[in-house]
Structure 1
Amino acid sequence: MEEIKKTAIIVGAGPAGLTAAHELLATAVKPVVLEESEEIGGISKTVRYKGNRIDIGGHRFFSKSNEVMDWWGKVMPLQGKPSSDQILLNTEGEVSLSGNVDPEKEDRVMLLRQRVSRIFYLRSFFDYPISLKLQTFTNMGLVRTIQAGFGYLYSAAFKREEKSLEDFYINRFGRPLYKMFFEDYTEKVWGVHPSKLGADWGAQRVKGLSIMAVLKNMLFPKKKSDDISQKDVETSLIERFIYPKFGPGQLWETVAKDIQPRADVIMKSKVTRIHVEANKVVSVDTEENGRIVNRKCDYLLSSMPIKDLVAAIDGIEVPAEVSRIASDLPYRDFITVGLLVKELKIKNETKIRTWQKRVPDTWIYIQERDVKIGRLQVFNNWSPYMVQDYKNTMWIGLEYFCTEGDEMWQMDEKSFIEMAIDELERIGILNKEDVLDSTQIKIKKAYPSYFGTYYELDKVKAFLDKIDNLFCIGRNGQHRYNNMDHSMLTAMEAVKNIRDNKTSKENVWAVNTEEEYHETKK
């Protein structure tokens, strides 16, 4: 622990911001975290509602970075060997212990989870990623199966130039499978047709997923090992992950608590102005409790949206082109409906957890064209501690993708929840009379989008990189749809640069473009 001589202001108390603050504790720089909201964790927060907990978006904890895995392990007990400090569900669905941490007495623990996620399409379940099992072809029907086979062979022989995400998917699956499992769902998520989205989104998120990858995994399955990171497995085929007992927000709340009092974490503090002199940030203005507070700093690490960052810069001239690009960067917003239900109509007809009548899925991709819902989470299967009455109720999350100000965003809460319940009843997921309680949560700028001025982002990056002590970190800080561990790695790289007195940002921007793996979250 070095003597504190400088101050770093960190904008955002999400994974990137809190990782940066944690890492700075080992330097002579004091971290001051400014969070606009009242909650820790950013999009990785856990929302509480009447004893139940909601994971915003679903966060599987695994990484092919040893640095990240070790970091998590220092915050909460993590797997070293299969039997160490892990909590599993036994064959009767009760929580049992595999290690020396008692989950009834200890809260600061991780669960070892089995990944189960499927596609719901044609009122049937399909494996995700798509498998080449008999059940898949049965659900598709003879005609669709033949079309899919010939479509894939054609795509293998005649590759398209990958100018768009549509080209990317067709090259790997063929047009029929693309139209069945990717086209409508992608447009539902992003609000634009895949032909308008960049192929680099696919390269970042699903580059290891293809028919050949599925065949390889089926014919030559990897032997299970003690390595939870599963470095030799395609990310889309990852089968196991770890998960905080009370959801992802628990880990970040724990980090925020641990770093104090050596770091300041100031809630409800919105950055309104960033003062720059001689190509360095010298202070920021924040709005706190209705008043403006000026805070001086030696470094600024920003995980705030780039469009807000550029708009706040003062003291140097921001080129009109840079302002235009930043202000027009596209985002996708997010609405979750939490439903507490007696039971679901869909039952467990898998070979997974055969003792359990409930479906085993952590989440289900809803591909049906006649509903707006994109994905369904079953929180009972993420962690039994997410549900107040785990044995007698099911706590589910209905996920909708929208744009702030559009029709869905503007709907009043009651009407939206009624629509959501009606949709699940229409496609045979639940009966309306089994709904016991409900709530709604809205998240702005949840997903940076890959169209529009995104393709001019390098000009904004070049401008920001000229500010020597400014580092852009995290998902929104870099306008990249990256994963939690990649957000953490951007923060770690930024702190290394501060420690080594480096002003180059190349390594920070490169984190989620050079890494070999990227988690799939369609």
Structure 2
Amino acid sequence: MTESTKTAIIAGAGPAGLTAAIEFLRKTNIHPVIYESTNDIGGISKTVCYKGNRMDIGGHRFFSKEDTVMNWWAEMMPLQEMPAKDEILLNKTNSDLTKNGINPEKEDRVMLVRQRVSRIFYLRKFFDYPISLKLETFSNMGLFRTIKAGTGYLLSTIHKRKENSLEDFYINRFGEPLYKMFFEDYTEKVWGIHPAKLGADWGSQRVKGLSLITILKDMVKKTFTSPKSIDQKQIETSLIEKFIYPKYGPGQLWETAAKEVENKSGELYKNQEIVKINIEENRVISVTTRSIEGKTETRPCDYFLSSMPIKDLVASLSGISIPEEIQSIAKKLPYRDFITVGLLVNKLRIRNKTKIKTYLERVPDTWIYIQERDVKIGRLQVFNNWSPYLVADYENTMWIGLEYFCTEGDDMWNMPKEEFIKMAIEELVKIDIIDKQDVLDAVQVKIKKAYPSYFGSYYQLDKVKAFLDKIPNLYCIGRNGQHRYNNMDHSMMTAIATVDNIKNGIISKENIWSVNTEEEYHEVKK
């Protein structure tokens, strides 16, 4: 590192922060320094390990319509189209499974090709997600609900609502009966607020053109697409069924990225919270950090990239006059927090009735949306199906994640851990997914500010953005850094765009903020 080398301080070792650091190292002479406030790597994309069982917090499909991102992942962890443990167990007599000398039990730093199966659990029955137009769907709904849903959909094609809310957005695309069956209650579980009070722009960002017409078109497209292909750019993102996945979960990729940062002379510090961003003459000149022991240090910098929540960013600015309105908007920005209960069980009560072959007739789902109104659980992950290597004893146990959406400080968040785990187990017993005696072990994991929310002061966020953009060497990247419900690839693209702007001397930050606003980026992730 020469005396003339400039320094970029990066807040957060999540996908955006780590991508930015690696891009600086690959493309520039700028020295990246990452400060991570926790002891973890990967942000919400981390992998939590508990007694040899690994949890993917929130579920992360590795798929992007951006070749830049797909190539970036491939460079970090090579794609090996090799059989995983579940495939080997299903095809014990197939000698071709270990051809070319590849032993999947010994190869670790690889991406597996996986099949996405997501379904809705409603009326104690399974429905495809997104809703399919299969005979089974209509059979599960019953004659009365089917007629009602069909009539409602036809009415929605004739009479379009003005889209003032997310409720209007869904009804325009699916009709009111289907909206009430499959979107209303679940959306309120996720956000803690009725869809009528959520903005329609959340739908336009996350749900894009998904509708019954889209589903019909997708059914036709799939007849001309190889079932083994992961190049599915012509398929609606929400309907993509193949994705790649690190053998040991998303955190494995980001831990690999963190090692590359350090191997290439970048710096990464964990358990270091950024408490003050020091500004002189309208530029960030240094950052003050505080260790877990309470020790503070100030580090000078030439650039500052923030993936920290905007409300924390604004509160940390020092040496600049911040209008009261800007402080108020940032302070009131809403977030949704997240609790996962990992359950290790002997087996599930629900069995595989799909056409997909599975080991011991287990359900093939990666995640299941729980639409039942009599439980609080929002979604159920089956980690065995993300990667069999997430489970210490794949052959004899099922490792599942019960996902709850809450707000820090509310009744669910404050519930004692053992009481919460007991409630979670009882809910799965109540809806006939497990038997209580099959539970072997359990753990609880809490995630703060998992989802930036789209209501309240969010609608004044442009004022905060305009204020922050006036600080030329400060850049907002990632999900919380932009207060936008970005997927992992979108967060990476904000970092890539930022480094490219700095390298090329581009002052405008419009292209950074515009990631995940073009329609081709959007994806449903309920």
Q: What's the TM-score once normalised by structure 2's chain length?
A: 0.96
Deviation at 1:514, TM superposition (A): 1.9
Matches within 5 A, 1:300-319: 300-319=304-323
Instruction: Classify the secondary structure of the residue corresponding to 1:443.
Output: strand
Equivalent residue, structure 2, for 1:239: 241
Instruction: Classify the secondary structure of the residue corresponding to 2:514.
Output: helix
The worse-fitting range, judged by mean Cα deviation, of 229-238 and 382-391 is 229-238
Instruction: Classify the secondary structure of the residue corresponding to 1:516.
Output: helix
Deviation at 1:515, TM superposition (A): 5.0
Q: Is residue 161 from structure 1 mapped to residue 165 from structure 2 by the alignment?
A: no
Instruction: Classify the secondary structure of the residue corresponding to 2:157.
Output: helix
Deviation at 1:21, TM superposition (A): 0.2
Q: Is residue 93 from structure 1 mapped to residue 95 from structure 2 by the alignment?
A: no
The number of residue pairs the alignment matches comes to 518
Q: 2:254 aligns with which of 248, 252, 255?
A: 252
Deviations 1:22-80 (A, max 9, x none): 0000311000000000000000000000000000000000000000000000001126x
Q: Is residue 55 from structure 1 mapped to residue 56 from structure 2 by the alignment?
A: yes
In the superposition, relative to structure 1, how do residues 220 and 350 fare at CA in structure 2: closer, same or farther (>3 Å)?
same
Deviations 1:176-234 (A, max 9, x none): 00000000000000000001111111111111210111122224435224752411000
Equivalent residue, structure 1, for 2:411: 407
Deviations 1:216-263 (A, max 9, x none): 222443522475241100011101000000000000000001121410
Deviations 1:408-448 (A, max 9, x none): 00000000000000000000000001000000000000000
Q: What's the TM-score once normalised by structure 1's chain length?
A: 0.96
Query: What is the CA–CA distance in structure 1 between the aligned matches of 2:19 and 2:409, rounded to whole Å?
Result: 32
Q: Which amino acid aligns with 1:388?
A: A
In the superposition, relative to structure 1, how do residues 99 and 249 fare at CA in structure 2: closer, same or farther (>3 Å)?
farther
Instruction: Classify the secondary structure of the residue corresponding to 2:424.
Output: helix
- Tell whether the 8 Å contact from 1:18 to 1:255 is kept in structure 2 after alignment: yes
Instruction: Classify the secondary structure of the residue corresponding to 2:521.
Output: coil
The worse-fitting range, judged by mean Cα deviation, of 190-199 and 497-506 is 497-506
Equivalent residue, structure 1, for 2:297: 293
Matches within 5 A, 1:237-386: 237-261=239-263, 262-288=265-291, 289-353=293-357, 356-386=360-390
- Tell whether the 8 Å contact from 1:63 to 1:69 is kept in structure 2 after alignment: yes
Deviation at 1:498, TM superposition (A): 1.0
Q: Is residue 390 from structure 1 mapped to residue 391 from structure 2 by the alignment?
A: no
In the superposition, relative to structure 1, how do residues 98 and 110 fare at CA in structure 2: closer, same or farther (>3 Å)?
farther
Matches within 5 A, 1:36-55: 36-55=37-56
- Tell whether the 8 Å contact from 2:208 to 2:519 is kept in structure 1 after alignment: no
Deviations 1:343-390 (A, max 9, x none): 000001110115541101010000000000000000000111000000
Superposed CA RMSD in Å reads: 1.7
Instruction: Classify the secondary structure of the residue corresponding to 2:222.
Output: coil
Query: What is the CA–CA distance in structure 2 between the aligned matches of 1:280 and 1:121, rounded to whole Å?
Result: 53
Equivalent residue, structure 2, for 1:183: 184
Q: Is residue 196 from structure 1 mapped to residue 197 from structure 2 by the alignment?
A: yes
In the superposition, relative to structure 1, how do residues 97 and 319 fare at CA in structure 2: closer, same or farther (>3 Å)?
farther
Q: Is residue 497 from structure 1 mapped to residue 501 from structure 2 by the alignment?
A: yes
Query: What is the CA–CA distance in structure 1 between the aligned matches of 2:278 and 2:145, rounded to whole Å?
Result: 60
In the superposition, relative to structure 1, how do residues 207 and 474 fare at CA in structure 2: closer, same or farther (>3 Å)?
same
Query: What is the CA–CA distance in structure 1 between the aligned matches of 2:99 and 2:172, rounded to whole Å?
Result: 44
Identity of aligned residues (%): 68
Query: What is the CA–CA distance in structure 2 between the aligned matches of 1:189 and 1:464, rounded to whole Å?
Result: 29
Deviations 1:114-140 (A, max 9, x none): 111100000000000101111111111
Deviation at 1:86, TM superposition (A): 6.5
Instruction: Classify the secondary structure of the residue corresponding to 1:90.
Output: helix
Q: Is residue 509 from structure 1 mapped to residue 506 from structure 2 by the alignment?
A: no
- Tell whether the 8 Å contact from 2:358 to 2:364 is kept in structure 1 after alignment: no
Q: Is residue 25 from structure 1 mapped to residue 25 from structure 2 by the alignment?
A: yes
